[in-house]
Amino acid sequence: MRCATSGPASLGHIVLEQVMAGSGVQLTHIPYKGGGQQINDALSGQFEVLSVNAGPAIMAHVKSGKLRALAVGAPARLRELPQVPTLAELGLPAANLASVFGLFAPAGTPAAVIERLNAEVNKLLNDAELRQKIEAADNLPTGGSAAEFGRFIASESAANARIIKAAGITAEK
């Protein structure tokens, strides 16, 4: 089976290896640097499985029937694809990851500036029109405090370090 991911050591590739483990199906690694060519190659039948974020371009092809969503790597089913199970529902709870967007400031930025920026971002995320646009792209605006986000980043970094170590991934020199 030919599978496209963002690279042989990408999280999507590692997840697909785990999904296919024990199935008797061998993956052939087709790494891409970006999504545009991946989508074109998927549509033209260059490979059978594609691992990408469910952004607007992918969703348009899924809704038109040109691509079929098999599973989502998210904590819950996507609002736009309620019939598509999560990887956890398919027996891979550790694979339910989501892309996270956040704002960062240089070390040493005064706490008052961080608090003000955080308050403004949270205010924006509660704006009904902006929230609708974010949710329409299958994103979940959560907001929260800078401290909560810092703890989340630290937790994700530790979890990713464990995955990288278990997979034997090393930096190229």
Nearest 5°: CA angle at 107, between 105 and 109? 65
Distances (CA, A) of 157 to 66, 68, 120, 122: 36, 31, 26, 24
Domains in the chain, start-ordered, CATH in brackets?
A: 2-95 (3.40.190.10), 111-167 (no CATH)
* Tokens linked to 83: 């019939």
pLDDT by residue, tens only, the chain of 173 residues = 555 555 444 555 555 565 556 555 555 576 677 677 888 888 998 877 787 777 788 889 999 999 999 998 888 888 888 999 998 898 887 776 667 788 888 999 999 999 999 999 999 989 999 888 887 766 778 889 999 999 988 988 898 888 788 878 887 76
Burial status of residue 81 (CB atoms within 10 A of its CB: 0-12, 13-18, 19 or more): middle
CA-to-CA separations, 114 to 10, 117, 146, in angstroms, rounded: 32, 5, 8
**Rounded to whole angstroms, how far apart are CA atoms 79 and 83?**
9
Cα angle 38-102-120, degrees, rounded to a multiple of 5: 135
pTM over 0.75: no
Count Cα neighbours of 64 within 13 Å in the Cβ-side half-sphere.
9
